[in-house]
Structure 1
Amino acid sequence: MKQSTTKLVCFSLLLLSIACDKDETSKDQSLELAKQTKIINVTNHDGKPFSTGVSTNVNSKYVANPGGGVMMQAFYWDVPAGGTWWNTVKSKVTAWGNAGIGSIWLPPASKAQNGAYSMGYDPTDYYDFGDYNQNGTVETRFGSKTELVSLITQAHTENMQVYADIVINHNSGGQSEANPYTGTNTWTNFSGVASGKFTRNYNDFYKNSYGNNDEGSFGGFPDLCHANPHVQDWLWGRADAVGKYYKNTMKFDGWRFDYVKGFGPWVVNNWNANVGGFSVGEYWDSNVNTLEWWANNANSSVFDFACYYKMNDAFDGNNLALLNDDMMWKRNPYKAVTFVTNHDTDEIWKKNLAYAYILTHEGYPTIFYRDYEEWLNKERLNNLIWIHNNKATGTTSILYSDNDEYIARRNGYNGNVGLVVYLNNSSSWQERWIQTNWANAQIKDFTGHSSWYPTTQGDKWVKIQCPPNSYSVWSINM
């Protein structure tokens, strides 16, 4: 396993007392002692910067890729049934693109056992996108194949990528058949799928001639056997395999793999090698070593659950010093997809601080549909998206942290000057002297929360502030 390059530094009580001093008469003494403090440096293993966008256009498109952009999770659990969701999402992609969102993640798009009421996580026919009459319906919960294609086309027009949710751990909706490996009847006969593609029987599911089980089954569904060459061929091998059909015919650009704990990382690795496109796995585990192991072996990005749980403990548990701890984005930001909530879990209450964190730090940040469209302040999120796309460049240095405050610097890259983000989890305004990368430069808070326009000193130090239970983001005023 790679070792994190993060250097966690314990600050002295003397520094804490000095840094809290807001009396201008003690500025010189406080500043001199503060300059002796070590800074926590967070650097990619390969030494490269993370994002490199330098656009200053508020409506700039930022193309999604493993090293930049902002992703929208374009659904939530139990979106309205009735076949309207693809059209709902299509009506929003232009505004999302103008806000700087570079990709959208759609729910599982093919026909599932629960037909018109299914969220897609019980897949039956991978080639039925709402154009075959099976499982009691023609359209899926989300709409027709024609509407899905129209949505993808519109997103591409807006220079946005579209990621498909891929459920290949388990299947559902098969017919009963005698199974010699269990001595019972199992619901594993998929020979009658309406598309006629990727027909399956008991030997395509565990237990079978290839073994009794793989890494994990889910919910009592038949557990797909990836060791079977027939399954491999239909998932990624042949010209009309599931992955290639999604990519070449449906025009999806990438994949979110569901429940990857249920099968070996070699499965996603082989899919990526044969199909291509961006990929991220849902490996639900807070252990950063496990996340890094999976991402490396799958040759894929992974959702940064280590970051998610640290943010929950830090913001809701009133201990921002926990943000010094290790996370996937600190190990390899090119393979870390950060998030605040999703369709499965919604634990963080102080979401404004969490979004300010992921949209100013390294990693590939994801915004949840309901947070953006219903629950939070869309203008504030759009401002953070703009900051991410235009200012959040280069490696990261953590400048200060305690229970209530956290300050970090993005060091800039290729002419982009970077930023300083200040998170305040207390009930009062806070101020700090910090070291920037800018000498004799006027800076401002690009969130508009602070009205200060301070000028950095010749040695790059400056005093900044942050409102209560909020954040500020500072960079050169230009």
Structure 2
Amino acid sequence: MKINHLFYGFLTLTFLFASCSKDEILDPVTSESSDLQEQVSSKALKPIGSGVMMQAFYWDVPAGGTWWNVIKGKVSSWSNAGVDAIWLPPASKAQNGAFSMGYDPFDYYDFGQYNQMGSTETRFGSKSELESLISRAHNNGLSVIADIVINHNSGGDLESNEFAGKSTYTKFTPLSGKFNRTKYDFHPNDQYSSDSGFFGGFPDLSHNKPYVQDWLWKRSNSVAKYYKNTMKFDGWRFDYVKGFAPWVPREFNRAVGGFAVGEYWDGNVNTLNWWVNEAQMSAFDFGCYYKMRDAFMGNNLNALSGDMLWKRNASRAVTFVANHDTDEIINNKILAYAYILTHEGYPALFYRDYEDWLDKNKLNNLIWIHNNLAGGSTTNLWTDNDEYIAKRNGGGGKNGLIVYINNSNSWKERWVETNWSSRRIKDYTGSSGWEPVTQGGRWVKIQAPPKGYSVWSLK
């Protein structure tokens, strides 16, 4: 989550805040999993985790109400490439109206149909255009992930607040007529002084208040149920989950089901693993992100031996190379994508990397490799400063693979032990023309190009 140039009261606040990681992401024993499976069956959607997620926006996408239609025009090709879900930016009306990226929420039920906060449409378009986009995505088998911002609100009117000892902008009377809020619904209030964290001085929702819980997930027309049942969203990306206890998104998700992932911005894998277990959902794998940054920006692939969430809890790890908040892996970025698209976890693609900055053919090839070959557990075969080799051991109808990442300036070759005896293999990236036959003892020599990678599996 990031907020730029938002007007709060009479004071202009400028933020550049970075808060925003296949095997299946869903735990089959949870109620939310069964709910999602029913949705998948009824809508003929691809199971989430069978492909990759597309982050369908970047910071400061063009204003003017065109973005929903831009994405609508891309979902068919994304689906054909192997994407199974799209993550949209916060879709409801925010304080900055037509200029807001949505991370300063005002009216959770205004998707571009009410004239308030200076505009009718949101930055991204109208409610009808959003509904059309979601329908087009569903018709192409894609789940649609909503970005849920429930830590803080913005745009309220000034009211006298004895709990804060001053007047505060905590009186919310949205035109939708739903989820009106006052000083009793934010921190501090008559019962609770604070929770896990405030953001940027904005009014901080008090999730322990029954009224807030009712409107967020308990009522028949709660935010959660309106998003799912009326707007037809299929899952949830929870913003800035450090700002509230993990039971909050857990209860939200239990009320409606669906895939869910939290933005717990922390490279400490112990903390990430604690959070996913408490919240009972996935998290973005910042542990993996920072290790890849060290490996590829620091030109030392030994960093890939470090701890990551996918190594602890692969079914709860959403891996990524960049997003709308952070894009530090500039050098050798395609090598980072080769890493997450061949390893465990549920990989997410960043819109600008796919559409604007990197070789789309190479990314499509890696998506195909992920969806068709990358099954089973992971075994490290070799790691040093310039070379990294690992194998996926196969499973779930997939043969597995061996990925060879070469960060040096020359071709590299190594003997590796495969899971295949006396079988011909090939490089599915096309970088190498070799088609060797593994020895009876399953050993074989493979190669990788300079500043490149190869991915080997049965021919």
Q: Which residue of 1 aligns with 2:319?
A: 338
Give a deviation string over 1:236-284, Cα, whole Å, max 9, x none: 0011100110011100000100000000001011111112111100000
* Match of residue 381, structure 2, among 383, 387, 399: 399
Q: Which residue of structure 1 aligns with residue 265 of structure 2?
A: 284
Write out per-residue CA displacement over residues 23-78 of structure 1, whole angstroms, 9 at most, x where no aligned residue: xxxxxxxxxxxxxxxxxxxx99xxx9xxxxxxxxxxxx99242x442000000000
Q: Is the CA contact 1:210–1:227 (under 8 Å) kept in the aligned structure 2? A: no
Report if the CA contact (8 A) 1:62-1:69 is conserved: no
Look up the match of 1:63: 46
- Contact map agreement 1:132 1:138 (CA 8 A) in 2: yes
Q: Given the alignment, which residue of 235, 238, 241 partners 2:219?
A: 238
- 5 Å-filtered alignment, 1:21-420, equals 63-65=46-48, 67-190=49-172, 192-349=173-330, 350-420=332-402
Instruction: Report the 3-state secondary structure (helix = DSSP H, G, I; strand = E; otherwise coil) of the residue aligned with 1:206.
Output: coil
Distance in 1, Cα, partners of 2:397 & 2:437: 20
Whether the aligned pair in 2 keeps the contact of 1:456 and 1:462 (CA below 8 Å) is yes
Q: Which amino acid aligns with 1:83?
A: G
Instruction: Provide the rounded CA distance (Å) in 2 between the counterparts of 1:473 and 1:138.
Output: 49
The farther-off stretch of 409-418 and 257-266 is 409-418
Instruction: Tell me if the contact between 1:124 and 1:173 (Cα under 8 Å) persists in the aligned partners.
Output: yes
Asked whether the 8 Å contact 1:442–1:453 carries over to 2, the reply is yes
Q: Would the aligned equivalents of 1:312 and 1:348 in 2 still touch at CA under 8 Å?
A: yes
Determine if contact 1:62/1:101 at 8 Å carries over to the other structure: no
Q: Given that residues 184 and 190 in structure 2 are in contact (C-alpha distance below 8 angstroms), is that contact kept between their aligned partners in structure 1?
A: yes
State TM-score, norm by structure 1. 0.86
- Return the alpha-carbon distance in structure 2 between the equivalents of residues 78 and 102 of structure 1: 25
* Mapping for residues 424-435 of structure 1, pairs under 5 Å: 424-435=406-417
Change (3 A) 1:414 1:269: closer
Tell me if structure 2 keeps the 8 A contact 1:188–1:201: yes
Aligned to 1:40: none
TM-score of the aligned structures, taking structure 2 as reference length: 0.90
Q: Find the aligned partners of 1:300 and 1:338 in 2 and give their Cα distance.
A: 14
**Aligned-pair distance for 1:322?**
1.6
Query: What count of residue pairs does the alignment treat as equivalent?
Result: 418
Partner of 1:28: none
Give 3-state SS (helix, strand or coil) of 1:89's partner: helix
Deviation at 1:417, TM superposition (A): 1.2
CA-to-partner distance for each residue in 1:332-375, whole Å, 9 max, x for gaps?
11100000000000000221110000000000000000000000
Task: Give 1:289 shift.
Answer: 0.3
Letter matched to residue 275 of structure 1 = V
Deviations 1:413-452 (A, max 9, x none): 1442110000001010000000001111111000001111
Gaps of 5+ in 2: 1-22, 29-43
Instruction: Tell me the distance in 2 between the aligned counterparts of 1:312 and 1:95.
Output: 29
Q: Give 3-state SS (helix, strand or coil) of 1:193's partner.
A: coil
- Equivalent residues of 2:45, 2:143 under 8 A apart: no
Q: C-alpha root-mean-square deviation of aligned residues, in Å?
A: 1.4
Structure 2 CA distance, aligned partners of 1:232 and 1:351?
42
Is residue 45–residue 138 contact of structure 2 (8 Å, CA) maintained in 1?
no
- For residues 245 and 89 of structure 1, the distance between their equivalents in structure 2, rounded to whole angstroms, comes to 22
Q: What's the secondary structure of 1:348's corresponding residue?
A: coil
Q: Does 1:438 align with 2:420?
A: yes
- The aligned amino acid for 2:201 is G
Match of 1:455 in 2: 437
**Structure 1 CA distance, aligned partners of 2:294 and 2:65?**
39
Counterparts of 1:426 and 1:308 in 2: how far apart (Å)? 21
String of CA shifts for 1:66-119, please: whole Å, max 9, x gaps: x44200000000000000000000000000000011100000000000000000
C-alpha distance in structure 2 between counterparts of 1:195 and 1:366, whole Å: 34
Structure 1: 5+ residue runs without aligned partners?
Answer: 1-42, 49-60
- Which residue of structure 2 lines up, in the alignment, with residue 470 of structure 1? 452
Task: Tell me if structure 2 keeps the 8 A contact 1:131–1:144.
Answer: yes
Report the Cα distance in structure 2 between the residues aligned to 1:330 and 1:469, rounded to whole angstroms.
25
Structure with max Cα Rg? 1
- State how far apart, in whole Å, the 2-side matches of 1:268 and 1:328 are: 19
- Return the alpha-carbon distance in structure 1 between the equivalents of residues 456 and 323 of structure 2: 29
Cα drift, residue 315 of structure 1: 1.2
Partner amino acid for 1:63?
Answer: K
For 1:372, give the aligned amino acid. Y
Change (3 A) 1:317 1:62: farther
1:31 alignment partner in structure 2: none
The separation in 2 between residues aligned to 1:84 and 1:69, in whole angstroms, is 27
Separation of aligned partners in 1, 2:253 and 2:98: 30
| Structure 1 stretches of at least 4 aligned residues deviating more than 3 Å after TM superposition | none
CA distance in 1, matches of 2:295, 2:165: 52
Q: What secondary structure, in the 3-state scheme, does the structure 1 residue paired with 2:60 have?
A: coil
Q: Is the 8 A contact 1:62 1:100 kept in 2?
A: no
Sort the Cα spacing of 1:414 and 1:224 in 2 relative to 1 into closer, same or farther, 3 A: closer
SS of 1:224's equivalent?
Answer: coil
